[in-house]
């Protein structure tokens, strides 16, 4: 009888703790996605400075796919062809990344105050390499001087987790990550 009572208590504790563990897991997935995009931005900025040519970061809204490549027509043409070494003007091969975020994590390009509605039956990302280049939405271009043209805000969404806001300051390159409920008005740090 005592053994059954102990097992019942353990089961009760697991049932009570599961929702908070699940939410914590979602928060960790969103933080990981934000870190992944920050790393891609760092690579883009570094390559732009080292290769003396602009690099573009683009994403598929509502999905978890993103692409990073030099900001030149031969890398963003809709025909799917990649430039050969003969078309590249530098001695170093350019960086072209097509990746996706963790399963379930999506880019939300709506107004940051209204989270995207997530369809649980819909895939959160498309297989890398299968996305038509015309589906990518340009978000930021990094220039050879290390700056970008504009400030950028991206919201990461995951069902059951608080959305996460990632902001890039174009001139300084400063990146901040905040939960969406801690949103501060534009122009304030």
The per-residue pLDDT for range 61-94, each reduced to its tens digit, is 888 899 999 999 999 986 444 444 444 454 578 9
pLDDT tens digits, 87-133 = 445 457 899 999 999 888 999 865 444 444 444 445 667 777 788 88
Q: In sequence order, which residues have a C-beta less than 8 Å from that of residue 131 and are 6 or more positions away?
A: 60, 65, 67, 98
Instruction: Specify whether domain 2-182 bears CATH 3.55.40.10.
Output: yes
Place of tokens 């280049």: 133
**Domain edges within the chain:** 2-182
Provide CB contacts within 8 A for 20, sequence distance 6+.
Answer: none
pTM to 2 decimals? 0.73
Q: Give percent of the chain above pLDDT 70.
A: 77
Cβ–Cβ under 8 Å, residues 100 and 32: no
Taking alpha carbons only, the member of 158, 36, 32, 12 closest to residue 97 is 36
């Amino acid at each position: 009888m005592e053994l059954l009572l102990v097992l019942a208590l353990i089961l009760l504790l697991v049932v009570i703790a599961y929702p908070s563990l699940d939410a914590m897991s979602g928060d960790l997935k969103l933080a990981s996605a934000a870190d992944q995009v920050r790393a891609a931005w760092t690579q883009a900025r570094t390559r732009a400075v080292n290769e003396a040519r602009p690099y573009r970061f683009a994403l598929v809204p509502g999905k978890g796919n993103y692409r990073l490549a030099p900001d030149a027509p031969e890398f963003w043409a809709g025909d799917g062809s990649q430039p050969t070494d003969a078309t590249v003007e530098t001695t170093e091969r350019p960086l072209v990344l097509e990746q996706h975020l963790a399963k379930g994590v999506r880019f939300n390009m709506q107004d940051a105050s209204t989270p995207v509605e997530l369809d649980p039956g819909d895939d959160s990302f498309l297989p890398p390499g299968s996305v038509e280049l015309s589906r990518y939405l340009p978000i930021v271009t990094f220039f050879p001087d290390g700056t970008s043209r504009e400030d950028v805000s991206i919201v990461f969404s995951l069902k059951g987790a608080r959305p996460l806001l990632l902001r890039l300051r174009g001139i300084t390159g400063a990146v901040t990550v905040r939960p969406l409920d801690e949103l501060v008005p534009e122009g304030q740090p």
